[in-house]
Each structure stands twice: as structure tokens, then as C-alpha cells.
């Protein structure tokens, strides 16, 4: 953290972003209970729920099957990823009118440093203007947290939704944050906070109370504990990392299975389906990727995410799925699997990639590619069974 300089950081967090974009394309969804997820299926999880759906206890990450039990008439829809990316880009372009110090947290949130701009305009005026413009120009409601560090700005933006505007000075932390539930600590996982609550650590104040340190350290490491404590003291990062920009967005998909998967052949078959789904988005939006990752959750809810980065950008399915296969082989240990995910990150637009960064496959003819693919299919078929990969009728992997 940079010393002896107070920074003014905004964390701008959209309220139910995916639902907001869906309502833009279909205004009939406004003021109704709906969610973003896989249509016409009980598989998978809720990505985002509208505020009306949340009244029924439907939340992000909830299995679709459970969501339908809570509200049988729940309307579940999906939109092409490009729709969301389009509004993300509009959001970023609007922020560029205020500062070039922008750090993208995800598709629906960003941090900006308005320290320089605040020399001539009050930070609250700037924040209110950004919030109002996003709502009026793009119909995107957001909450904004204002603080001296990224962490406290993030905590502040979560305090009031929708359309919140919260200033978090260091002296405000104790009054505003300490009474909150320990589950509201940014960085505390869904598996960790129930353990803390079971031990009597119910609030952020309880967590930070030195008298409770021994109890907390039974659940998390001391390094992790000290890091969180420093965050609440305002002793964490206060500078924007411009490298965290929009071209570093990731695209991914994830599915929870009602029937547990077992065995590499069955799991690889499902990963192939997921990889194709993300690959279609990559091609449609004209991106190349440098990093491929998979997520695996077993029947005991242990979740791992593993990734591998290339030395070049690619949009070649053969190379991408070969890495997915490699990651599975390295990290699957014959357990039952309940969730799988595939994602691509370190994205760049095709037109921005240097030609020399393209890989060998870009120089091959289509016939050459088919030969390479057939070799891969034969290889995988011998190892995992003949059904693991196949060409769809009248299509190739490059359609």
C-alpha cells in the first residue's frame, strides 16, 4: 500500500446485473419473480435472482431444483453472454469519462480512483452523478461504496442495495461494520462462516475481538486472520491495478448434477459439453483465450479450481479441450462428482492479438485440422471409451 497519501476509491457494484440486462431486453420481466439460469431444466444453479424472486428465498448459487420447490412458477431465462458483455463495456466506457484508473472486479463491478478528480469536485457529487447516469442512460441500477481502500469500498457498497451510496471512513468502520454478521466479511467463504457462528463468533465485531482470536484460529489460519484484521483497519491496498482491465474478463459455465458422476470417462464427456458451451461464446464474441480452468466439486462439497496458461492466445477447440483433459487427469481422484465447471480467462479481442501469437493450428488447413482432431478422438476414445467425443451430425467442432 502506498504510504502517506489518502486515496478516494469507489467500488461500483451493479444490483442484480444479469437480471437488469434481461429486463432491458424484455421489459415485461420488470417487477416479476425471475432468475437467470438454464432454461427448461432442473439442472444447474441460479446465476442471479430478481429482487422479487429473492422474497421467496431464491438466491444466487441455489440449485435450480431447489429454486423451483420454493416457487413453482419461477421464470428462469438465459441470454447470450454477449448481451451482458455489451452493457459491461458501456459501463466501463462511462467510467473512462471520469478517470483512467479503473480496475475491473468482474463483469458487474469495478473500482475507480477519483482522488485527482476530487480536487475540483466533491466525491459524493461524482458518485451520485455516475449512479444517476448509469440508471438513466442504461437502466442499470448500482450501489457505490466510497472509502480509502479497495476492501473498505467493497464492504461499503454492500451495505445498502439497491441504489445505495455509502461513505466508509476509517472511523466509521466500528459503528457501521462491526454489528454485521460474520458472513458479511468479504473473503470469508460459505463453508467458513457457519463454523465461526457455531463457535459463537456471530458478528464482525466478535471476529475482530482480540479475546476471540484463539477461537477464530481454530477455524482459519493466522495469516488469513491477520490479513482480514488489517483490511478492517484500513491497512490494505489503495491503488488501482490498471492491468485488471476489461480484456481480462473470464467466460465460464458450471453445472450441478442431480446424479453423481463417477469415472474419468463420464466426467470427461460432461466436460466436453461444458467446454463447447463456453467455446461458442468465445467464438461468437470474437475473443482469444490464454488461460483455461476447470472446477470440480465432489459429493462432500470439496471444491477445487485448477487452471493452465498458454504462451499464446488461442481460439482453437482442440488445444483448449486437450488442456481441459490434462487438468482433469491431474486432479481427479476417483471420487463422486456433483459439480463441474469450465472457464476461459485472460481474454483478448481477435483483432488486438498479434499474429505471431497465434499457434500452429492457425496455419493449418481445415483438412489438416480434421486429421489432428481425429487423432485426438482416437486417442481419447481408446482411453475413455468411444462416446467421449464425437462430431455432431453435419457439423464440426469449428461450427
Q: Name which of 4-13, 80-89, 142-151, 174-183 the model is least confident about.
A: 80-89
Average pLDDT, rounded, for the chain? 84
pLDDT at 10 over 80: yes
Residue 136, Cβ density class (10 Å: 0-12 exposed, 13-18 middle, ≥19 buried):
exposed
Active site residue 109: yes
- pLDDT score for 138: 96
Residue 35, Cβ density class (10 Å: 0-12 exposed, 13-18 middle, ≥19 buried):
buried
Instruction: Please tell me whether residue 349 adopts helix, strand or coil conformation.
Output: strand
**Number of Cβ within a 10 Å radius of residue 260:** 12
- pLDDT score for 294: 94
- pLDDT score for 245: 45
Rounded Cα distance, 321 and 308, in Å = 12
Residue 4: CB partners within 8 Å, gap ≥ 6?
A: none
- pLDDT score for 382: 55
- pLDDT score for 243: 44
Nearest to 331 by CA among 366, 305, 363: 305
- pLDDT score for 356: 39
Cβ pair 128, 135 in contact under 8 A: no
Model pTM score? 0.64
| Cα separation values, 220 from 194, 199, 228, 298, 369, Å | 12, 12, 11, 22, 49
* Catalytic residue of the set 2, 23, 97, 109: 109
Cβ pair 322, 271 in contact under 8 A: no
Nearest to 301 by CA among 260, 263, 331, 345: 260
Cβ pair 49, 19 in contact under 8 A: yes
pLDDT at 68 over 70: yes
Residue 384: CB partners within 8 Å, gap ≥ 6?
A: 264, 265, 268, 269
The backbone region for 341, taken as left when phi is positive above 0, alpha when psi lies in -120 to 50, beta otherwise, is: beta
**What's the DSSP call for residue 391?**
P
E-assigned strand segments in 213-369? 251-261, 287-298, 303-314, 337-345, 348-349
For range 104-120, the mean pLDDT: 90
**Residue 162: cis peptide before it, omega within 30 degrees of 0:** yes
For range 225-254, the mean pLDDT: 80
Q: How confident is the model at residue 398 (pLDDT cuts 50, 70, 90)?
A: very low
Per-residue pLDDT tens digits for 24-47: 999 999 999 999 988 887 877 788
Rounded Cα distance, 264 and 267, in Å = 5
Q: Nine-digit cell at 21?
A: 440486462
- pLDDT score for 181: 96
β-bridge pairing 48-49 and 251-261:
unpaired
Q: Residue 346 — φ and ψ, nearest 5°?
A: 50, 55
- pLDDT score for 360: 38
Residue 364: CB partners within 8 Å, gap ≥ 6?
A: 372
- pLDDT score for 373: 53
- pLDDT score for 195: 94
- pLDDT score for 375: 55
Cβ pair 289, 346 in contact under 8 A: yes
Q: How confident is the model at residue 312 (pLDDT cuts 50, 70, 90)?
A: confident
Per-residue pLDDT tens digits for 143-160: 999 999 999 999 999 999
Q: Name which of 80-84, 149-153, 293-297, 312-316 the model is least confident about.
A: 80-84
For range 16-21, the mean pLDDT: 93
Residue scoring higher pLDDT (48 or 369) = 48
- pLDDT score for 159: 95
pLDDT at 222 over 80: yes
Q: How confident is the model at residue 364 (pLDDT cuts 50, 70, 90)?
A: very low
Q: How confident is the model at residue 67 (pLDDT cuts 50, 70, 90)?
A: very high
**What's the DSSP call for residue 392?**
P
For range 369-390, the mean pLDDT: 52
Rounded Cα distance, 87 and 137, in Å = 11
For range 112-117, the mean pLDDT: 96
Cβ pair 11, 109 in contact under 8 A: yes
Amino acid at each position: 500500500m502506498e504510504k502517506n497519501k489518502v486515496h478516494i476509491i469507489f467500488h461500483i457494484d451493479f444490483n442484480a446485473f444479469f437480471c437488469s440486462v434481461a429486463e432491458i431486453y424484455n421489459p415485461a420481466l420488470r417487477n416479476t419473480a425471475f432468475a437467470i439460469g438454464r432454461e427448461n431444466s432442473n439442472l444447474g444453479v441460479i446465476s442471479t435472482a430478481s429482487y422479487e424472486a429473492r422474497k421467496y428465498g431464491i438466491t444466487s448459487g441455489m440449485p435450480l431444483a431447489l429454486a423451483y420447490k420454493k416457487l413453482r412458477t419461477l421464470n428462469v431465462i438465459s441470454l447470450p453472454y454477449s448481451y451482458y458483455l455489451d452493457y459491461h463495456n458501456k459501463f466501463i466506457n462511462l467510467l473512462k469519462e471520469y478517470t483512467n484508473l479503473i480496475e475491473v472486479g468482474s463483469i458487474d463491478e469495478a473500482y475507480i480512483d477519483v482522488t485527482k478528480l476530487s480536487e475540483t469536485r466533491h466525491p459524493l457529487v461524482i458518485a451520485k452523478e455516475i449512479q444517476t447516469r448509469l440508471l438513466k442512460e442504461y437502466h442499470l441500477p448500482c450501489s457505490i461504496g466510497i472509502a480509502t481502500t479497495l476492501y473498505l469500498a467493497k464492504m461499503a457498497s454492500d451495505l445498502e442495495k439497491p441504489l445505495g451510496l455509502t461513505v466508509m471512513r476509517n472511523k466509521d468502520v466500528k459503528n457501521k461494520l462491526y454489528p454485521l454478521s460474520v458472513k458479511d466479511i468479504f473473503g470469508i467463504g460459505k463453508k467458513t462462516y457457519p463454523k465461526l457462528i457455531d463457535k459463537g463468533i456471530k458478528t464482525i465485531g466478535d471476529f475482530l475481538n482480540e479475546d476471540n482470536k484463539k477461537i477464530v484460529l481454530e477455524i482459519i489460519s493466522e495469516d488469513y486472520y491477520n490479513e482480514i484484521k488489517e483490511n478492517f483497519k484500513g491497512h490494505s491496498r489503495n491503488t488501482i491495478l490498471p492491468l485488471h482491465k476489461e480484456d481480462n474478463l473470464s467466460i465460464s459455465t458450471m453445472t450441478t448434477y442431480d446424479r453423481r458422476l463417477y469415472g474419468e470417462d463420464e466426467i470427461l464427456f460432461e466436460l466436453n459439453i461444458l467446454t463447447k458451451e463456453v467455446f461458442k461464446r468465445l467464438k461468437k464474441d470474437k475473443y482469444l483465450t490464454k488461460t483455461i480452468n476447470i472446477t470440480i466439486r465432489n459429493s462432500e462439497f470439496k471444491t477445487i479450481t485448477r487452471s493452465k496458461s498458454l504462451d499464446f492466445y488461442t481460439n482453437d477447440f482442440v488445444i483448449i479441450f486437450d488442456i481441459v483433459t490434462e487438468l482433469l487427469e491431474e486432479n481427479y481422484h476417483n471420487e463422486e462428482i456433483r459439480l463441474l465447471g469450465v472457464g476461459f480467462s485472460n481474454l483478448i479481442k481477435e483483432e488486438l492479438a498479434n499474429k505471431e501469437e497465434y499457434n500452429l493450428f492457425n496455419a493449418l488447413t481445415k483438412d489438416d485440422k480434421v486429421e489432428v482432431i481425429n487423432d485426438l478422438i482416437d486417442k481419447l476414445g481408446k482411453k475413455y471409451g468411444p462416446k467421449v467425443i464425437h462430431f455432431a451430425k453435419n457439423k464440426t467442432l469449428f461450427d
